[in-house]
A and B are shown apart, each in its own frame.
Chain A
Amino acid sequence: KAGVTQTPRYLIKTRGQQVTLSCSPISGHRSVSWYQQTPGQGLQFLFEYFSETQRNKGNFPGRFSGRQFSNSRSEMNVSTLELGDSALYLCASSWRGDTEAFFGQGTRLTVV
């Protein structure tokens, strides 16, 4: 079956802009979680959605938000981009959130 798909793979944005990243989970998976990966901070949890509801949120400012649609696809949005938001953003899906998480290839965001 197809894996987790993230689009776009690469993005370059300017400070102050906003960006939307997309994640299509594995068919049948209802849980989607997002992570930020940077060289300094490593992999950090952003939030998790299950059946269109946010169940868990990490320690990120309100500029980071997300949503999940009825088909389990998820988007995350970052508003008022800062240079420090440059990172690899990973999406992971699982059947119900407490089972194996399957990761996408990530979206590499560069803020200039």
Chain B
Amino acid sequence: AQRVTQPEKLLSVFKGAPVELKCNYSYSGSPELFWYVQYSRQRLQLLLRHISRESIKGFTADLNKGETSFHLKKPFAQEEDSAMYYCALIQGAQKLVFGQGTRLTINP
């Protein structure tokens, strides 16, 4: 079955430090992967998708099919990055399969 795993429920780093949020997936076929973010009191929103290969707010994510991973990275964390982050893959018609999420806290 298709599955997304985010091994860290909580992640705390200092401002200016590098950040890496881990995501592993299991999927038969070519997956399409996303990172969604939910800031405090805001709605869930798309941060980036692997096919666009964009860097959003300094975040990047590379799909590694060999390791079945899609880790989210940022070289220098900022306080406004504190949020809940969800990794997800799309299965069929707009069916997003989400990981359990990682709460990222950036300490000043």
* Contacts from A to B (Cβ < 8 Å): 3-4, 31, 33, 35, 42-45, 48, 50, 55-56, 58, 90, 92, 94, 97-98, 100-106
Contact of A94 (CB < 8 Å), options: B49, B94, B98, B99: B94
How many residues of chain B are within 8 Å of chain A by beta carbon? Answer: 18
Q: Cα distance A101–B86 when bound, in Å?
A: 14
What chain A residues lie within 8 Å of B94 (beta carbons)?
Answer: 31, 33, 48, 50, 55-56, 92, 94, 97-98, 101
Using known A-B contacts A42-B100, A43-B98, determine if residue A97 contacts B44 with beta carbons closer than 8 Å: no
Main secondary structure of the interface of A (DSSP, over half): strand
> What 5 A-B pairs come out closest when comparing CB atoms?
A97-B94, A43-B98, A55-B93, A103-B44, A97-B93
B56 within 8 A of A: no
Contact (Cβ within 8 A) B43 A42: no
**Chain B residue nearest to A3 in the complex (CB):** B43
Q: Cα distance A6–B68 when bound, in Å?
A: 35
* Contacts from B to A (Cβ < 8 Å): 43-46, 49, 86, 88, 90, 92-101
Total A-B residue contacts, Cβ distance less than 8 Å = 57
Q: Cα distance A14–B38 when bound, in Å?
A: 30
Contact of B43 (CB < 8 Å), options: A44, A58, A100, A106: A106
**Chain B residue nearest to A104 in the complex (CB):** B43
What chain A residues lie within 8 Å of B46 (beta carbons)?
Answer: 100-102
